[in-house]
Structure 1
Amino acid sequence: MRVVLMVMLLLIGIVNYVDRSTLAIANHSVQQDFGIGPAEMGLLLSVFSWAYAFAQLPAGGLLDRFGARRVLGGGLLLWSVAQAFCGLAANFKQMLLGRVVLGLGEAPAFPGGAKVVSQWWPRASRGFPVGLFNAASTIAPAIAPPLLTWLMLAYGWRTMFVVAGAVGIVLALVWFGVHRDRAPSTDEERPVPVSVREWAGLLRHRTTWGMVLGFTGVIYSIYLYLTWLPAYLESERGLSVADTGIALIVPYLAGTLGMLAGGGFGDLLVRRGVPTMLARKIPICTGLLVGGLCTIPVALTPSTTLALVCISLAQFFMNSASAGAWSLAATAGSERITASLGSLQNFGGYFGGAFAPLITGILVEETGSFVVALLAASGIAILAALSYAFLVAKPVGTPDLHEVAERTT
């Protein structure tokens, strides 16, 4: 059953990120058809993340209360319909509405994945499955550019959106047919549903705030590249649409390796006797620091080749940090609150990270280049590393969680 679940979660994650990538691929075409500029495009890119971020707040509690089958499956169905609707949008406002609903529907995806992993894998071995599931966020952008670019050039950007939505609808039906939430074996093992008071109590912990603030830096950098990298390569580096689709494969494959390395390295540290919380923090802080430093040459080098190398390194280390962050969410609390804690972290990441497309669009429009936007992302990543390093300390939730975490090392 674990293998089936891992395949399903990976496919859902890939569809999730393919749907996010479509607007980035169609950036210039949508601007031309709707008569909008970079600032309005930045709003279209950012409004998804704001809807996604605020929907994290109820998503975690709903997952902990009703299970991943209903909540994750329902979200997948909703966002797939919204994706298809975007392909039928007649104007900017309709596209904006579609992007909002897309964000609402996608919200349960990654907290839902963390919930499934916490139910089916032992605490000390959750890093690799979390990393593999989250690798969808880099596998999809790696395969999406050539595939989506071909669809767009052959049939138009509207068909590209509709096809992507249809694939998600089919996958949602398969999820409902295959997945069943794991039931406890005895009444004594049956967890008490997370209450609103208990959920709010997570905010009293310094570790929770360190995760919320730190994940902002992770998502800000990842989302800047996800949403603006095609436009950057075309306008700043002079690549054609077709060449951009090919050039994007390497950075996202590097990101996939980073996802697997971040989760697997944390598991290795735990098996070597490193305390659980520290073992999960090391890939996060290292990834943010090195990834932030690698972004500086992307802004300043005149060489397109060197820029692509540094983008690939940044993708590797930033996604290593992302896998580490989700592994932390799956181990820093009891299984009852995994989705709630993960959704709070994801809320912080996407609320702050949502400003990346908007701020980047404004800065590009005002300065005529990506230099300032990339340097800002570098600084934010370094600050995020400090947040994880100094604020994240003890496990959160029930009073005995610290002892539980230490016993698993």
Structure 2
Amino acid sequence: MLTVDRVRWGIGTLIAGGLLVNFADRTVISVAGSQLSDEFGMDVSQLGWVLGAFSWSYCLAQLPAGVLVDRIGVRWLNGVAVVLWGLASLLTATAGGLGLIIATRLLLGVAEGPFMLSASKATASWFPTAERGRATALFDGATKLSNVIGLPVLALVIGKWGWRAGFLFTGVTSLLFAVVWWRCYWDPAEHPGLDNAGRADLTARGARGHDRAGTAAVRTVLRSRRLWAMTLGFACYGYTINVLLTWMPQFFQRQFGARVVDSGLYSTAPWIAAALAEFTLGGWLVDRLVSAGRDPMKVRRAVLFGGLAVGASVGFAGTAESTLAAMGWMTLSLSGLAVAAPVAWSLPGLLAPTGSVGTASGLMNVANAVATAGGVVLTGWLAKVTGSFGTPFVFAVGVLGAGILLYWPVFTVRRHGVPRSASPGAGKRAPEEGSQICA
């Protein structure tokens, strides 16, 4: 039998690999946007609608996907979903009209809907609470690394062979990953490399293990004020980071006249810094402080709020006078948002009732997807009206400020409404598993 450590970090690496592929599939259209605009005669506002098509169907898929992952499990739902999103990319590569491109982006949104929710649930199932920060940073950090690796590669492919080659590349990669997923992912209760002692060890240290939904899971989540605060706060984070994810290559192309290949390279440096910041501060540092006996929720609150505040530096990027200055502000903003991300994604696994991590994650990502879809379209419209990205980026600063206010009740309300600071032993290490904390 394999050791518990090797098994769970192998699972974590597999999930991270899936998200590398997942985000490459959804961002390829950002790199290809200029060629699409030229071929189909779109202005920047119309391109915003095409870029946002993915987000609308992704949004509608979130809550149903969350319920399904709680009921049928991570392995089967993701296994089918990966095949579908690979086919969606291949269909985009063969599309002969703008309507078909929008249709395939809508299909991609539905197919990719379950994966982040499954990542959150799998992390809660496989990882002890004292390792949740690093595990969450591993899978969410992969979304940043996807841009580090994917943007320059896709820019080179599209620059040399055209936009259809970019979608063909991501579609084939997705289908290859589907084979790996079916061979390698299992829930803790079914993994052939884990014995009963290993499963017992995971459970004893706070992993949720075989966590399937009860009949009241959805109702319980929807009635939780704390989970709603978490959901709306996450929407504000998601608005900003997904505006940057979607529009950054176009920002460099349109604001500074960068070529397609160059825009991919300019967009890479901020994502490298973001990935490093997420792994070291949002992951390792959080786990280190929690393991040292610091109050877990106070640690997470400080990291989340600090990250969102630093993310507000995006407001300076839109008015930067040079490509280098814009890259610098983008790097600072994305690094702050990346530090906040592991905390935000770990909250469903810490706070959701038993059997409802997927549902709580789905609710959170519904709000994220709505904010993202609206933000992508609004950014394109504001850029067209004002002639630059300054106004839409400043608007994103206000959204992040609202996010800090919305997140506040998540960290100040404890069971039965008692503030954590007033609870006995507030300065000592508190239990992480918050499955009953649903005020």
Aligned length: 403
User: CA–CA distance in 2 between the matches of 1:153 and 1:211?
Assistant: 41
Bigger mean CA deviation after superposition, 123-132 or 183-192: 183-192
Shift of residue 161 of structure 1?
Answer: 0.1
Further displaced range: 51-60 or 233-242: 233-242
Counterpart in the other structure of 1:45: 51
Query: Is the 1:332–1:395 contact (alpha carbons within 8 Å) kept by the matching residues of 2?
Result: no
Gaps of 5+ in 2: 1-6, 191-195, 417-422, 434-439
User: Which residue number in structure 2 is paired with residue 343 of structure 1?
Assistant: 362
- CA contact 1:281–1:328 (8 Å) conserved in 2: no
Counterpart check, 1:197 vs 2:216? yes
Taking the aligned partners of 2:211 and 2:291, their CA distance within structure 1 comes to 30
Q: Which moved more, 1:385-394 or 1:235-244?
A: 385-394
| SS of residue in 1 equivalent to 2:294 | coil
- Tell me the equivalent position of 1:102: 108
Match of 1:385 in 2: 404
Distance in 2, matches of 1:95 and 1:150, equals 21
Paired residue type of 1:66: I
Q: Any idea what SS the aligned residue of 1:140 has?
A: helix
Cα 1:200–1:392 change in 2 (3 A) is farther
CA contact (8 A) 1:333 1:395 kept: no
1:192: Cα distance to partner?
7.3
The one of 364, 367, 370 equivalent to 2:383 is 364
42-51 vs 94-103, which moves further: 42-51
Distance between the aligned counterparts of 2:79 and 2:415, measured in 1? 28
Q: Offset of 1:335 from its aligned partner?
A: 5.3
Amino acid at match of 1:132: L
Report what 1:112 is aligned to. Answer: 118
Deviations 1:379-398 (A, max 9, x none): 1011111211234444799x
Inter-partner Cα distance in structure 1 for 2:123 and 2:56? 26
Matches within 5 A, 1:1-400: 1-183=7-189, 193-260=212-279, 261-292=281-312, 294-334=313-353, 336-394=355-413
Cα distance 1:336–1:277, how it changes in 2: closer, same or farther (>3 A)? Answer: farther
CA contact (8 A) 2:221 2:353 kept: no
Q: CA RMSD in A?
A: 2.4
8 Å CA contact 2:30–2:247 kept in 1: the answer is yes
1:298 maps to a residue whose letter is: A
The 2-side partners of 1:84 and 1:103 are apart by 14
- State the shift of 1:191 in Å: 5.7
Q: Would the aligned equivalents of 1:115 and 1:335 in 2 still touch at CA under 8 Å?
A: no
- Give the alignment's TM-score, normalised by structure 1: 0.92
Secondary structure at 1:236 match in 2: helix
Q: Residue by residue, what CA displacement relative to the aligned partner does 1:211-268 show, whole Å, maximum 9, x if unpaired? A: 1111111111111111111111111123222222221111010111232121223222
Deviates more, 1:260-269 or 1:104-113: 260-269
In structure 1, what is the Cα distance between the partners aligned to 2:131 and 2:63?
27
- Structure 1 residue ranges without an equivalent (≥5): none
How far does residue 175 in structure 1 lie from its aligned partner after superposition?
A: 0.6
% same residue: 28
Whether the 8 Å contact between 2:227 and 2:352 is mirrored in structure 1 is no
Q: Find 1:407's aligned residue among 431, 436, 439.
A: 431
Once the two structures are superposed, what CA deviation does each residue of 1:130-152 show, in whole Å capped at 9, x if it has no partner? 10111111101111121111111
Q: Assess, with a 3 A threshold, how the Cα gap between structure 1 residues 334 and 78 changes in structure 2: closer, same or farther.
A: same
Asked if the contact 2:90–2:167 (Cα under 8 Å) also holds between the matched residues in 1, the reply is yes
Q: What amino acid is the match of 1:27?
A: G
The 1:281/1:74 distance shift into structure 2, 3 A limit, reads: farther
Quickly say closer, same or farther: Cα 1:88–1:245, change in 2 above 3 A.
same
Q: Does the CA contact (< 8 Å) of 1:83 and 1:161 recur in 2?
A: yes
**Alpha-carbon separation, structure 1, partners of 2:158 and 2:432:** 49
- Quick one: distance in 2 between partners of 1:192 and 1:357? 35
Residue aligned with 1:354, SS = helix
Distance 1:289 1:190, change over 3 A: closer
Deviates more, 1:2-11 or 1:228-237: 2-11
Conserved? CA contact 2:298–2:411, under 8 Å? no
Displacement of 1:11:
1.0
- Aligned residues of 2:86 and 2:170 also touching (Cα < 8 A): yes
Distance change in 2, residues 1:309/1:232 (3 Å) = same
Question: Secondary structure at 2:213's aligned position in 1?
Answer: coil
User: With structure 2 as the length reference, what TM-score do the two structures score?
Assistant: 0.86
Deviates more, 1:39-48 or 1:95-104: 39-48
CA offset digits 1:139-171 (Å, max 9, x no partner): 011111211111112221102101211110111
Q: 1:263 to 1:394 in 2, by over 3 A?
A: farther
Deviation, 1:315, is 0.6
**CA–CA distance in 1 between the matches of 2:402 and 2:276?**
24
Contact 1:363 1:372 in 2 (8 A): yes
Contact kept in structure 2, 1:277 and 1:332, CA below 8 Å: no
Rounded to whole Å, the distance in 2 between the matches of 1:384 and 1:199 is: 24
Query: Which whole-Å CA distance do the structure 2 matches of 1:41 and 1:163 have between them?
Result: 22
Q: Is the 8 A contact 2:271 2:334 kept in 1?
A: yes
